[in-house]
Amino acid sequence: MTQLIHVEQLYRYYGDHCAVDNVSFDLEKGEILGFLGPNGAGKSSTMQMICGNLAPTSGQILINGIDILDNPKEAKRELGYLPEIPPVYRELTVNEYLRYCGKLHGIPKDKLKMALDQAKERCGLTDVGERLIGNLSKGYQQRVGIAQAILHTPAVIVLDEPTAGLDPIQIREIRELIRELGKEHGVILSTHILPEVQESCTQVQIIHKGKLVLNDSIEGLEQQMRASSLVLETRAEPDLPRLSSVDGVQKLEPLSGHRYRVFHDKDKSPAERLAELVVSSGWGLLELTSERRSMEEIFIDITTHTPIVEEQAA
């Protein structure tokens, strides 16, 4: 696969405060990276450095193989950016605005119309080209913002809160558009909306106190969401010591009646052995289900319980 972003040992200090602390990651073509973090975690600083709007204190950022510090203009040509508030001019028509953006991007005059037509088609704007942007719904204004970001066919598209303030139908449409863009580009999606990452992304990162505390695929995240616990309910009162002795069981937590939460080893579910014991002992098996943690629970767990190890000065 083609590596579109390479970030290595990125640091950013504001005075004595380290806002971004040794962040490293890669983004390849076809990947959509969901970038999450609580307020003040260093997410915005990292995004600004990747986009070339903020200089790192130290570290390296390559955009499609181009160093953004050594060759900022060339590197930025490989980037398309949509800030949280789309930078659209409400008094212009969609065509006027995109033509203006095309000129800013340096698209040759003979290729400008084709670039505009392609961007409008990909963003579902073909039928509204002559309408004033100020008269469009917020969802369509967001589409115009995305169109300006992809107009020059950049390698990487950076989207900051692209569905903020949209209604459910508009959110679904923008998410579908992001998935389509991810097939041809590398996409970084900064968002506070956790389901957004599950719906749209292939990778997920969580930054906390300047450090990356999670960098995983959506499949890996789904695996983490399969909590290491089962809910067991029996008709008759079971022998708890015998249940606790089943291989893989860590502890039992009484819930109500003959209902228990069974904590177990992460990679070894004792469900089958528990079922056999309950049935063979005649306790009557009423329920045995695996619990799932929500993404919100994982996010809160990581950002409130993950210890941040301070590096000692040499």
Q: What is the C-alpha to C-alpha distance for residues 29 and 163, in angstroms, rounded to an integer?
A: 23
What pLDDT shows up at residue 310?
Answer: 46
Q: What is the C-alpha to C-alpha distance for residues 305 and 210, in angstroms, rounded to an integer?
A: 15
Domain ranges of the chain: 3-222, 227-296
DSSP strand E in 142-241: where? 156-160, 186-190, 203-208, 211-217, 226-234
What pLDDT shows up at residue 40?
Answer: 85
What pLDDT shows up at residue 1?
Answer: 67
CA atoms within 13 A on the CB side of 254: 8
High-pLDDT (> 70) share of the chain, %: 96
For residue 243, what are the CA distances in angstroms to 167, 261, 272, 276, 309? 49, 11, 12, 11, 38
Secondary element (H or E) of residue 116: helix 109-122
Residue 3 one-letter amino acid:
Q
- Rounded to two decimals, what is the model's pTM? 0.78
What pLDDT shows up at residue 305?
Answer: 63
For residue 268, what are the CA distances in angstroms to 50, 230, 243, 245, 274? 41, 12, 15, 14, 12
Query: Looking at domain 227-296, does it have CATH number 3.30.70.1340?
Result: yes
pLDDT band of 306, cuts 50, 70, 90: low
- pLDDT tens figures, 95-108: 999 999 999 999 99
- pLDDT tens figures, 264-294: 887 788 999 999 999 999 999 999 998 877 7
- Whether 181 contacts 104, CB under 8 Å: no
- pLDDT tens figures, 107-166: 999 999 999 999 999 999 999 999 999 999 989 999 999 999 999 999 999 998 888 888
Bridge-based pairing state of the strands 32-36 and 203-208: parallel
CATH dotted code for 3-222:
3.40.50.300
What pLDDT shows up at residue 287?
Answer: 95
- pLDDT tens figures, 10-65: 999 999 999 999 999 999 999 999 999 888 889 989 999 999 999 999 999 999 99
